[in-house]
Amino acid sequence: MYEDYFSIDDILSTQERIRCQLLVDIPKLGFLESSSLHDEKKEEENSSSLTMNTKLELPYWMIYSICNCKTRFASLPELPLIYSRIQRQIFAADASVVDLAKQAPHFYRQGRHLLELNFDEKRQVAITLLQTYQQRFRSIMDSAFHLVLSNDHHHHESMKHQTAKFERQEKILLLFGQAAFRDYDRLINNETRQMLPPKIQGMTNDLTNVLAAASNRKRKR
């Protein structure tokens, strides 16, 4: 289920709430029903159980557990809005205009998690994720190129406006693209500086240090 247990992005994407519908009665969890939270008497009456067909909004990590166990406790009557049929039509028309940073900052990661559940429109959601990435990839690479190599101020501003719509994974890809174009520019200009792997978001490559330490230990032996 989890790509990286300690990944902040993964934690945030699995906290997104999804609407589900119970297939069985669940005892002693009536307090989870949001409608009962505003009425203390009703809360006391319903705290004993959640009845079948009750609709709840729960975080993905909980939905995954109750929908994928041997005895299914719930189903998905509707998808999150960003993956709905109407939204998929918008993506199909022109995915580049959608402001994913506002609507779904973890669009791809959350979508991959969603595909681990069983629902009728699973194939359509998978196709939307793929086609959206394909359509927006060109925009990401164009932005990376122009933000690094273009000297046109107005073009820079328009590119920044475009990149503000990128979701989390797209912004990381943008940073990798910028690092790659900088290396390419140094190569074309015959610069002799060593081309190092890009350092993104504090990530460092310590492989050289590890190999050097191992080599020193061998020499001492």
Based on DSSP, count helices (H) and strands (E) in the chain, helices before strands.
Answer: 10, 5
What does the pLDDT read at residue 144? 87
Residue predicted with more confidence, 71 or 45? 71
Q: Classify 58 as helix, strand or coil.
A: strand
Q: Please give the average per-residue pLDDT across 149-158, as a whole number.
A: 69
Q: Does position 83 have pLDDT exceeding 90, yes or no?
A: yes
Residues 6+ apart with CB under 8 A from 102: 165
- Give the model's pLDDT for residue 135: 93
Rounded-to-integer distance, Cα 102 and Cα 19, Å:
20
pLDDT in tens, 1-19: 555 678 888 888 899 899 8
For 59-63, 81-85, 90-94, which range has the lowest pLDDT when averaged over its residues?
Answer: 59-63
Q: Which of 96-110, 132-146, 202-216 has the lowest mean pLDDT?
A: 202-216
Q: Which residues pair with 59 in a beta bridge?
A: 17
Determine the pLDDT at residue 41.
53
Contact 21, 74 (CB under 8 A): yes
Q: Which residues contact 51 (CB under 8 A, 6 or more apart)?
A: 22, 25
Question: Considering only 47-51, 54-58, 81-85, 160-164, which range has the smallest mean pLDDT?
Answer: 47-51
pLDDT at 36 over 50: no
Distances 124 to 33, 71, 81 between C-alpha atoms, Å: 30, 26, 14
Residue-level length of the chain: 221
Contacts 24+ apart (CB under 8 A), 94-99: 94/135, 95/131, 95/132, 95/135, 95/136, 96/135, 96/136, 96/139, 98/132, 98/165, 99/164, 99/165
Residue type, 133: Y
Domain ranges of the chain: 17-78
Burial of 60 (0-12, 13-18, 19+ CB in 10 A): buried
Instruction: Give the model confidence (pLDDT) of 109-151 as tens digits.
Output: 999 999 998 888 999 999 999 999 999 999 999 888 888 777 6
